[in-house]
Structure 1
Amino acid sequence: MKNSSKPINFIENKIKSDLENGVVKRVITRFPPEPNGFLHIGHAKSICLNFGLADKYGGDCNLRFDDTNPEAEDQRFVDAIIKDVEWLGFKQNIRPKYASDYFDQLYEWAIFLISEGKAYVCELNAEQIREYRGTLKLPGRNSPYRERLVKENLSLFEKMKNGEISEGAMTLRAKIDMTSGNINLRDPVMYRIKKSSHQRTGDKWCIYPSYDFAHGQEDAIEKITHSICTLEFASNRPLYDWFISNLPVHAEPKQYEFGRLNLNYTITSKRKLKQLVDENYVHGWDDPRMPTISGMRRRGISPAAIRNFCDSLAVAKTDGIVDMAQFEYFVRDDLNNNSPRAMCVFDPLRLTVVNYDDAKLDQIKIQNHPNKPDLGYRETKFGKTLFIEKSDFSDDETLSRKKFKRLVINDYVRLRGSFILRAEKIIKDEKGSITEVLVSIIPNTIGADAPEGIKPRGVIHWVDQDSSIDCTVNLYDRLFNVPSPDSDQDNFLQHFNTESLIVLEGCKAESSLQKSVPG
Structure 2
Amino acid sequence: MENKIMKIHKINNFIYKIINKDLKNKKYKKIHTRFPPEPNGFLHIGHAKSIYLNFEISKIYNGKCNLRFDDTNPNTASKIYVKSIKKDIKWMGYIWNKKSFYVSQYFNKLYKYAQKLIKNNLAYVDKLSKKEIKEYRGTLKKKGQNSPYRNQTIEKNMKLFKDMKNGKFQDGDLCLRAKINMNSANIVMRDPVLYRIKKKLHYRTKNKWCIYPTYDFSHCISDSIEKITHSLCSLEFLDNNQLYQWILRNLNIKKHAKQYEFSRLNLEYTILSKRKLKVLIEKKIVSGWNDPRMPTISGLRIRGYTPKSIKNFCKKIGVSKKNHLIEFSLLEYCIRNHLNNIACRFMAIINPLKIVIINLPRKYKEKIIVNNHPLYPDMGTHKIYFNKIIYIDKNDFQEVANKKYRRLTINQEVRLRYSYVIKVKKIKKNSLGYIKKIYCTYDKNTLNKNPVDRKIKGVIHWISKKNSIPAKFRIFQHIFSIKNPDSVKNYLKYINHESIKIQNGFVEKSLIKNVKKKFFQFEREGYFIIDKKETIKNKKITFNKTISLKGKKY
* Superposition TM-score, scaled by structure 1 size: 0.92
Q: Given the superposition, is the C-alpha separation of residues 501 and 162 from structure 1 closer, same or farther in structure 2, using an over 3 Å criterion?
A: same
Q: Given the superposition, is the C-alpha separation of residues 500 and 384 from structure 1 closer, same or farther in structure 2, using an over 3 Å criterion?
A: same
Alpha-carbon RMSD: 2.3
Distance of 2:62 and 2:366 partners within structure 1? 56
Shift of 1:62: 1.2
Equivalent residues in 2 for 1:11-410, closer than 5 Å: 11-91=15-95, 96-249=100-253, 251-356=255-360, 361-396=365-400, 399-400=402-403, 403-409=404-410
Gaps of 5+ in 1: none
Shift of 1:414: 3.0
**Equivalent pair of 1:228/1:258 in contact (CA under 8 Å):** yes
Deviations 1:319-343, CA, capped at 9 Å, x for gaps: 1111222222222222223222232
Gaps of 5+ in 2: 516-529, 533-543, 545-554
Equivalent residues in 2 for 1:412-491, closer than 5 Å: 412-416=413-417, 418-429=418-429, 431=431, 432-443=433-444, 448-453=448-453, 455-489=455-489, 491=490
Shift of 1:24: 0.9
Q: Given the superposition, is the C-alpha separation of residues 94 and 421 from structure 1 closer, same or farther in structure 2, using an over 3 Å criterion?
A: farther
Q: Give 2:520's aligned residue.
A: none
**Equivalent pair of 2:37/2:70 in contact (CA under 8 Å):** yes
**Equivalent pair of 1:74/1:199 in contact (CA under 8 Å):** yes
Q: Give 2:524's aligned residue.
A: none
**Equivalent pair of 1:393/1:407 in contact (CA under 8 Å):** yes
**Equivalent pair of 1:173/1:190 in contact (CA under 8 Å):** yes
Q: Given the superposition, is the C-alpha separation of residues 188 and 4 from structure 1 closer, same or farther in structure 2, using an over 3 Å criterion?
A: closer
Distance of 1:133 and 1:212 partners within structure 2? 17
Deviations 1:138-181, CA, capped at 9 Å, x for gaps: 22222222222222222221121111222221111111112211
Shift of 1:424: 4.3
**Equivalent pair of 2:9/2:17 in contact (CA under 8 Å):** no
Deviations 1:76-129, CA, capped at 9 Å, x for gaps: 111111111111221476852111111111111112112222112222221221
Deviations 1:340-385, CA, capped at 9 Å, x for gaps: 2232212211122344469975443322222222332233444431
**Equivalent pair of 2:174/2:197 in contact (CA under 8 Å):** yes
Equivalent residues in 2 for 1:499-518, closer than 5 Å: 499-504=498-503, 506-514=504-512, 516-518=530-532
Distance of 2:332 and 2:424 partners within structure 1? 41
Counterpart secondary structure, 2:244:
helix
Q: Given the superposition, is the C-alpha separation of residues 43 and 59 from structure 1 closer, same or farther in structure 2, using an over 3 Å criterion?
A: same
Q: Give 2:493's aligned residue.
A: 494
Which residue identity does 1:499 align to in structure 2? Answer: E
Counterpart secondary structure, 2:345:
coil
**Equivalent pair of 1:348/1:388 in contact (CA under 8 Å):** yes
Shift of 1:405: 2.3
Counterpart secondary structure, 1:473:
strand
Shift of 1:216: 0.4
Percent sequence identity over aligned pairs: 46
Which residue identity does 1:467 align to in structure 2? Answer: N
Greater displacement, 368-377 / 64-73: 368-377
**Equivalent pair of 2:9/2:20 in contact (CA under 8 Å):** no
**Equivalent pair of 1:419/1:443 in contact (CA under 8 Å):** no
**Equivalent pair of 1:351/1:438 in contact (CA under 8 Å):** yes
Distance of 2:411 and 2:142 partners within structure 1? 82
* Superposition TM-score, scaled by structure 2 size: 0.87
Shift of 1:213: 0.2
Distance of 1:222 and 1:321 partners within structure 2? 34
Which residue identity does 1:461 align to in structure 2? Answer: H
**Equivalent pair of 2:365/2:385 in contact (CA under 8 Å):** no
Q: Given the superposition, is the C-alpha separation of residues 466 and 4 from structure 1 closer, same or farther in structure 2, using an over 3 Å criterion?
A: farther
Deviations 1:297-338, CA, capped at 9 Å, x for gaps: 121112211111110013111111112222222222222232
Which residue identity does 2:351 align to in structure 1? Answer: D
Distance of 1:169 and 1:230 partners within structure 2? 32
Which residue identity does 2:299 align to in structure 1? Answer: G
Distance of 1:243 and 1:45 partners within structure 2? 28
Distance of 2:337 and 2:406 partners within structure 1? 24
Shift of 1:409: 3.9
Greater displacement, 304-313 / 82-91: 82-91
Which residue identity does 1:96 align to in structure 2? Answer: S
| Count of equivalent residues | 512
Distance of 2:429 and 2:478 partners within structure 1? 38
Distance of 1:42 and 1:51 partners within structure 2? 15
**Equivalent pair of 1:419/1:441 in contact (CA under 8 Å):** no
Q: Given the superposition, is the C-alpha separation of residues 234 and 363 from structure 1 closer, same or farther in structure 2, using an over 3 Å criterion?
A: same
Q: Given the superposition, is the C-alpha separation of residues 5 and 123 from structure 1 closer, same or farther in structure 2, using an over 3 Å criterion?
A: closer
Distance of 1:78 and 1:174 partners within structure 2? 30
Q: Given the superposition, is the C-alpha separation of residues 253 and 501 from structure 1 closer, same or farther in structure 2, using an over 3 Å criterion?
A: same
Which residue identity does 1:493 align to in structure 2? Answer: L
Greater displacement, 326-335 / 224-233: 326-335
Which residue identity does 1:425 align to in structure 2? Answer: K
Shift of 1:190: 0.9
Greater displacement, 429-438 / 253-262: 429-438
Deviations 1:437-460, CA, capped at 9 Å, x for gaps: 3334445765x4335335432221
Which residue identity does 2:415 align to in structure 1? Answer: R
**Equivalent pair of 1:426/1:434 in contact (CA under 8 Å):** no
Q: Give 2:552's aligned residue.
A: none
Q: Given the superposition, is the C-alpha separation of residues 5 and 429 from structure 1 closer, same or farther in structure 2, using an over 3 Å criterion?
A: farther
Counterpart secondary structure, 2:239:
helix
